[in-house]
Structure 1
Amino acid sequence: MFSTLELDVRPGSGLGMFEIGNSLWNVLDTLRGLQHLFPQVDVKYDPDTPTTPVILHLRPHLDLLFSGHQQRLSTISVKKLRDPNPPLTLTYKNAVLSSSEDVLKRVGVSRMFGPTYPGDDLRYPGVSFSFDEDARPDTLKSPIVQTDDREQEVKRIVISQKNLDNAQRDALDEVMECPAMDGELHRAVVKIHEGVTLQFYPSDSEPIQVLLGTSTAQDLTVELGPPLRTHYKEDDRMTIHARNHQSEAESDGDYFYNYQQHGIDFLISGTTHTVKKIILHSNVPGSPLFQRYKRCPWEVEGHPEDDEDEFPPRKKFYERVEEIQHFLAPGEAPPSMILNRADYEDGLRLPSSATRLFGYDGIILEATESGHVVSVTLF
């Protein structure tokens, strides 16, 4: 016997615990604690692009669409309103909109939401009601004769962000800035040999600078709050590639501050307690570290063309590794090292768990075999 799933419909804002603008990382983290409500979650994406939109299918009722660049919830689709596994009750302003006993029909929508423009669907700012189970895009639908059948049963409800000009939004559009994003990372500008500048939502807030060799663990706690995790550095295998032999001794006692909610790790010196390395994660679907960290929207900044150049060139997280390599050092790419994360995690099973490490002066790129950069390390 399934317990009833009760969700409130908020046009332009959200549905139940799901808020338009929530990040993919946060939503999946929330779903891990709600397995009694959503026992099966299917993650769908295009493995050929790092900016693929991601769909979470929560059987049988919900499809959550996340935008390709920001990985933020942009569209919520509710279907199979009458499926009893589990029973679904939808409310709007504390009134029952649909339930196992209350069939939602055209006349019910009109009574609750009022008049709207002509069309096959009933569209209101931030929400629409479809009488087609598949809810295909308008351009693909078969011609349907307009009907005034008051008893038509609603088969799908779609909740999306409201446009300021009331124009219909494309489902694949990026989410406009909204309160659900406040306090989350908007942009991380990387300056090689210096550090990173972090810009948070609201986007007009003061940026935070984290400088290599200068910013301390205490600075991070004051500016970013306590990390979600702290652990001491145990893996010293990369020290064999160091240019000087003091590196191994100097790394004794080093520890990581892990800010998974921002997609960033900081390696901190165990002696000076200053930042030694900064690791920024791209959260590419299908990669070995997918969903370990929220997407960090990093941008590597180059040198300005002249002293008056206020907008130095940048390369962003979604550009291919070959383009970023040419940006960092035009010419032949350096030799790469292969990192297979399946060698270190027994439960990891992926079609391609190996990545390549490309080292430059002050920065390391980790990329998949298909050329997607999954992380950037500054040192």
Structure 2
Amino acid sequence: MYSTLDVDIRPGTGLGLFELGGTTSYHVSKPELRTEFDHVRFQELHCDVKYDADSPITPIVLHIRPHLDLLFSGYHQRLHTISLRRLRDPHPPVTLRYKNTTLSSTEEVLRRVGVKRAFGPTYPGDDLRYPGVWFSFDEDGRNEGLRPSSPPPDDRMQEVKRVMISQKSENDEPTDALSEVKDGVVLHFYPTSSEPLHIRIGVTTAQDLTCDLGPPPRINYREDDRMTIHSRAGKLDDDLGTSYFYNYFQHGIDFLISGSTHVVKKIIIHTNIPGTALFQQYKRCPWAIEGKPEDDEDDSPPQKWFYDRYEDIGHFLSPGDSPPSMMLDRTDDEEQLTLPSAPTRLLGYNGIILEVTDSAQVATVMLF
């Protein structure tokens, strides 16, 4: 009977007892492994070391068979990359966790859809890559570096063969606009004689919303925090897990409220497009994105409306090249829901995330 190797993923930080940038090759000697892997019979671990004998600053690769490969930098000999492979090899069996979720175990096979459920959308490619961690469906890495424009359409159940944890590099990764903050939204109600309501991120409180909009039809305490992995800071909010949503279905808008300060952190506006996963869950909010006036005397600043195509809105937000897109399939969490064009794209700009359908319509606008 083999003991289980139980490890947790920390994207950009480490895996199990190994800390990227902190663990050195000196710490990962056999006596250290014997102590740290006391829950696994040491006889089950077979270690090989690879390096360039002709170089004094050679990178070092430590293979702890059958599951772990550790790459140490050549200069400081600090842990740079961790590879976890052969997840289904029972000698010893592996349990892989992320936060409070078991991703892979002797009973649970990690598949593409499971990764997306745990980590959310990411950029298209054969592998699923997130800042600090990526998941490969090829055992020996023969397809590394090959990045097709989109994955095969029927690959939801594709089995993960390797998991790579590496230090984050802002220079090598696409720029995300997830840490930027916008002022908020101005809501106009009918009849038009009603005063506009300005809801500001970081200022408006939950009590303000209740006074101005009434009690929300639903308060949702389950925050989908998967997108925080793309934040440049790489840190979760201090009140993560206590934040909550005010869902105003009748207005087509959601507000994420801080669990500690009870101020608005995020605003999500819904277009209610037929054929999308959220169709008819929200009333349409006929939104417009307003630009800066051309001069001080301009009382009609430029705007783009919910019915404009993404190409026009994207150019309005950023006249340069379009940002990299992430794929989001809301049916991943709804096994009984089937849509002809379920996946959408997420494109981040300065403080704004647009969710775009394959017909170039903007389904939701997210303000941070």
TM-score normalized by the length of structure 1: 0.49
